């Protein structure tokens, strides 16, 4: 009997020890998991504030810009001197020697020499390199890829303040007749994505033009920075009747801008310092110079709205947070944010 009693106690004790061990392991695992989650959340917060540091630095550089009134792709909103270059200023910036991460301010654009290949450009992107869908004339809008006369007319009807119907356009009566009706805005676009509400617009067309359109700026495009597609749209709309000749003029302008290395956004880029660009672009014929003259009411050499895409990165484990904002100069001369999104 004594043997059986002792055995029972032993077995019971072993079960208790096993159960306590399992509980201890479970508690330990949970504590470890919560610790890892806490560290992950802390690293996400650090990455976010690193991204915010990139935005603040960019705003400060914009406010300190003392160069003449022109902006280029290489010096977009900033003034460079000495050995400075956008890579040193904007890429992989650490806040201290012991920093666990860094921030970068840059944007991606397609390589003109290799369609489909995206290049990373350090610094900010001006919004004036794009077409402002709130102010652009219909003739330029319908020269964008995929934009038909119907879509261009419907854009005009969406943003105007009346109910007068453009030929091939769409006003409130059309949108109210849809299966899921909504109201025609009759006002400026608040975001480029709002285009998807316009008659005839779909996701495929929007994806093809989203990098060339904006809602910011006074309406003129910057001849120093404008996308080739933006130049083509305006030059073919207002330059004349010979599309081949107009595209040749655009190629001569972009080739001149790219400098001797043929790459945009590099130190040897040529910059137009006034709008009399026909006097400096080499190899223009009289007809080509006249085409440029027809466009002078539509372009400028400076920009006032700048897109800041800042990415905060924590090295180990690699965690990223991104902020996309747009800054413009206020009455006090400082740059304030007019758009801000965290990703």
**Interval 74-89: pLDDT, tens:** 999 998 887 789 999 9
| Residue from 274, 341, 288 nearest 310 by CA | 341
Query: Which segments of 64-81 does DSSP mark as H helices, in order?
Result: none
Which residues does 51 contact at the CB level (< 8 Å), separation at least 6?
Answer: 103, 310, 311, 312, 321, 322, 323, 342
Mean local confidence (pLDDT), 92-110: 89
Looking at the predicted structure, is the pLDDT value of residue 214 above 90? yes
pLDDT computed for residue 166 by the predictor: 92
pLDDT in tens, 144-181: 999 999 999 999 999 999 999 999 999 999 999 999 99
Task: Retrieve residue 264's tokens.
Answer: 């945009």
Looking at the predicted structure, is the pLDDT value of residue 112 above 90? no
pLDDT computed for residue 100 by the predictor: 84
Name which residue leads in pLDDT, 296 or 1.
296
Q: Measured between alpha carbons, how far is 228 from 178 in angstroms, rounded to an integer? A: 37
**Average model confidence (pLDDT) across the chain:** 91
CB 236 within 8 A of CB 250: no
pTM for this entry: 0.87
Mean local confidence (pLDDT), 258-283: 94
Kindly state the percentage of the chain with pLDDT values over 70: 97
Q: Measured between alpha carbons, how far is 288 from 307 in angstroms, rounded to an integer? A: 33
Weakest mean pLDDT among 95-109, 129-143, 314-328:
95-109
């Amino acid at each position: 009997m004594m043997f059986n009693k002792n055995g029972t106690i032993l077995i019971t004790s072993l079960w208790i020890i096993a159960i306590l061990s399992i509980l201890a392991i479970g508690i330990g695992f949970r504590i470890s998991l919560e610790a890892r989650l806490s560290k992950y959340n802390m690293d996400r917060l650090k990455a976010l504030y690193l991204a915010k540091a990139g935005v603040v630095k960019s705003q400060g550089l914009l406010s300190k810009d003392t160069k003449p009134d022109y902006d280029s792709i290489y010096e977009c909103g900033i003034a460079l001197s000495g050995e400075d270059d956008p890579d040193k200023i904007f890429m992989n910036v650490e806040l201290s020697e012991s920093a666990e991460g860094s921030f970068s301010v840059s944007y991606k654009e397609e390589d003109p020499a290799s369609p489909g290949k995206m290049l990373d450009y350090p610094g900010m992107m001006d919004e004036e390199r794009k077409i402002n869908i709130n102010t652009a004339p219909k003739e330029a809008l319908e020269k964008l890829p995929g934009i038909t006369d119907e879509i261009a007319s419907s854009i005009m009807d969406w943003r105007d303040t009346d109910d007068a119907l453009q030929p091939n356009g769409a006003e409130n009566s059309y949108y109210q007749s849809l299966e899921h009706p909504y109201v025609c805005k009759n006002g400026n676009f608040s975001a480029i994505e709002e285009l998807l509400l316009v008659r005839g617009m779909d996701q495929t067309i929007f994806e093809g033009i989203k990098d060339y359109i904006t809602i910011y700026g006074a309406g003129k495009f910057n001849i120093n920075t404008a996308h080739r597609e933006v130049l083509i749209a305006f030059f073919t709309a207002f330059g004349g009747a010979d599309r081949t000749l107009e595209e040749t003029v655009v190629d001569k302008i972009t080739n001149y801008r790219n400098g001797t290395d043929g790459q945009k956004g590099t130190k040897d880029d040529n910059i137009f310092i006034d709008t009399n660009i026909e006097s400096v672009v080499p190899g223009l014929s009289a007809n080509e110079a006249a085409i440029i003259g027809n466009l002078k009411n539509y372009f400028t050499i400076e920009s006032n709205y700048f897109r800041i895409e800042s990415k905060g990165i924590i090295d180990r484990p690699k965690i990223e947070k991104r902020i996309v904002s747009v800054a413009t100069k206020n009455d006090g001369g400082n740059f304030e944010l007019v758009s801000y999104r965290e990703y």
